[in-house]
Structure 1
């Protein structure tokens, strides 16, 4: 299969591919998604095959308006409508109870709920409208690998496996959407993102965070709760403030090149060893979140490092989302300062 590249002026052709049951990668403000007609079970199953994704990992349904959500979900609560009014279009995914037989088990993982999102990207909203159907959209990468923030990342992973990629340039945020579960008695954050707990609390009051480890036989309600995610080929080690000189001294003793992902400030304050390969995370947590997956992919495709030293941030605001992804990419491994 030849993977075509589409742009804003060829959205109509991409939408026809969706209608025909084929797969099209699409841009959002967070990462690129892998789209298929959510009402076509055969097409949805192709998403799992293309990604190598476990079949009990539910998919997010992308919509162009709230009216579409109302067609499939049970009546929306006042708090849910308030969230949609405040944060949609935007990087917030909302889990809702479904009407009977609303979607196939391929979309829901067999659950009575589904996750909905109205992305903040005009090209993709146009794609959904022209396709005339809601579109499932997990990240458009090989399952377990860093999420794609540029069309070239999608092409690297999925060329020949999907019909096309709708290219709208690099994404703005760089980490996936916040996921909030509104199907229970108390709103619960299942995945942190750019819409922080503080922002959600301001709008709807008390919310809780659910970071429990999903059991072997348990179906996760949201992506990223059960399986290995975001991992490059190299071992990532998270470096905390005050550890950088020790970490770089350790890197200098390694026999091969070592990747180093930091802000410009950290690089300026420390001397990289000769075998250190630096990838800039920019100036702050916002640029770091934007560049995180691109950096991990850089060392996967353009280098041969065995280790990547990556800068940690405080788990506050966007820092919580950044660290959630970074800890998963590192397998929770932090750099340990050697005993002196």
Structure 2
């Protein structure tokens, strides 16, 4: 099969075309003929040598794909009744930049009705991540603020950001989002958020103003570093800060006394190395709650650009430029 591999750690040019043996599914796994692969920030980190795949995973980058089921173990736990020939999207631990990929059956979801395979390829990584962190760890809607709880999304125009805004908004929550340009702010607002341009506005002051001094209940943070103490200031009593990336650095200082007095929680997670059973449970929640919202148009894929797979270097360069709004996808056919 044709694939894109990391020749050696480095810039986008480290991605090179190659031929690899077609992978063989093991127990509980299926083989997917890939139509499209999502591009994500962890792919960039892996290419740079900063985020190695977990033991046993493919060394090829790519954490999400959509395509057609070819073969595999359909007799294991199969809550959606999937079979050969079905169109699916899937979350992977690696191996997505290829014409064929193996995925655990429990991490495969049927393509939502009305979506193309390219659109479906943009869903798994961000939807699994947002559900796990905003709704499971962050407990949006289940804290001291009840059903009226609010969410602040840092980096609202990213793939994660547009997903978090749309799911939370569709479920009835007020959403605030930061972005670095007026165009990106407008894009966030079109998806249901109140946008804050972090280059021209103080997001803490804006959040406090917009919530009449109360603050937000949950913050989804991809920055960390010196953002953390400011995010704690912007949070309501009993608020939860969920950190899923450290683009601003890993070292953090904050006022522990204020955290205790205001009953704040700081948590975080990574998804790639979690067990299949954990990810399969998220898949079932997405299928039950989020997939119907996608199928009726309350949530829609936001794709900035689709590149032919052989242009993966250009796709990564765009990802690193942060000039995109939403997702970047590689297409393997059509």
Q: TM-score, normalised by structure 1?
A: 0.21
Q: TM-score, normalised by structure 2?
A: 0.21
Task: From the two aligned structures, give the one with the greater strand fraction.
Answer: 2
